Amino acid sequence: MPALPAPPLRVLAVCDEWLPARGGLSTLNRSLCVALAAAGCEVFCVVPGASPQERDDAAAVGVSLVVSAALPGMSERQALMRRPPLAGGIVPDVVIGHGRITGQIAKSLADDHFPGARRIHCVHMVPDEIEWHRLGQQDDAGMRADERSRTELDLASDAALAVPVGPRIDAWLRRDLRGLDVTPPLVRLDPGFDGVDAVTRRVPEGREQIMLMGRVNDARIKGVDLAARAVGHALGLNHPFTEWDLLVRGAAAGTSEELHARLLRWIGHRAANVIVRPYTTDRAALRRDLLSTSLLLMPCRVEGYGLVGQEAIMAGTPVLISDRSGLGALLREVLPAELAHRVVVPVDRDDKVDVPVWGHRIAAVLLDREAAFATAAAVRDIMASERTWARATGRLLDGLGPFSG
- Give pLDDT, residue 138: 64
Report DSSP state, residue 224: H
Q: Is residue 3 part of a domain?
A: no
- Give pLDDT, residue 113: 95
- Give pLDDT, residue 194: 92
DSSP 126-162: -HHHHGGGS-SSSS-HHHHHHHHHHHHHHHHHTSSEE
Tell me how far apart the alpha carbons of residues 201 and 195 are, in angstroms, rounded to a whole number.
17
- What does R_g of the chain's alpha carbons equal in angstroms? 22
Q: Is residue 166 part of a domain?
A: yes
Would you call 217 exposed, middle or buried from its count of C-beta atoms within 10 A (0-12, 13-18, 19+)?
A: middle
Q: What is the pLDDT of residues 217-276, one digit of tens each?
A: 778 889 999 999 999 999 989 877 788 999 999 888 888 999 999 999 999 887 789 999
Q: Is residue 198 part of a domain?
A: no
- Give pLDDT, residue 201: 85
Q: Is residue 285 part of a domain?
A: yes
> Residue 76 belongs to a domain with what CATH number?
3.40.50.2000
Tell me how far apart the alpha carbons of residues 13 and 98 are, in angstroms, rounded to a whole number.
9
State whether 222 and 188 are in the same domain.
Answer: no
Ramachandran angles phi, psi of 161, nearest 5°: -155, 125
Enumerate residue ranges in the chain where pLDDT < 50.
none
Q: Is residue 303 part of a domain?
A: yes
Long-range contacts, 100-107 (Cβ 8 Å, 24+):
100/148, 100/151, 100/152, 100/155, 101/16, 101/25, 102/14, 102/15, 102/16, 103/151, 103/152, 103/155, 104/151, 104/155, 105/14, 105/77, 105/80, 105/81, 106/14, 107/155, 107/159
Q: What is the pLDDT of residues 366-380, one digit of tens each?
A: 999 999 999 999 999
- Cα separations (Å) of 44 from 164, 228, 251? 21, 42, 32
Q: Is residue 203 part of a domain?
A: no
State whether 59 and 162 are in the same domain.
Answer: yes
Tell me how far apart the alpha carbons of residues 90 and 36 are, in angstroms, rounded to a whole number.
18
State whether 231 and 294 are in the same domain.
Answer: yes
Give me the number of domains the chain comprises: 2
- Cα separations (Å) of 347 from 154, 227, 246, 321, 375? 31, 11, 20, 9, 21
Residue 178 is part of which domain span? 10-192+388-400
State whether 129 and 214 are in the same domain.
Answer: no
Q: Is residue 316 part of a domain?
A: yes
State whether 393 and 259 are in the same domain.
Answer: no
- Give pLDDT, residue 369: 94
State whether 151 and 212 are in the same domain.
Answer: no
Q: Are 399 and 355 in contact (CB under 8 A)?
A: no
- Give pLDDT, residue 282: 79
Rounded to 5°, the CA angle 187-215-227 comes to: 100
State whether 173 and 28 are in the same domain.
Answer: yes
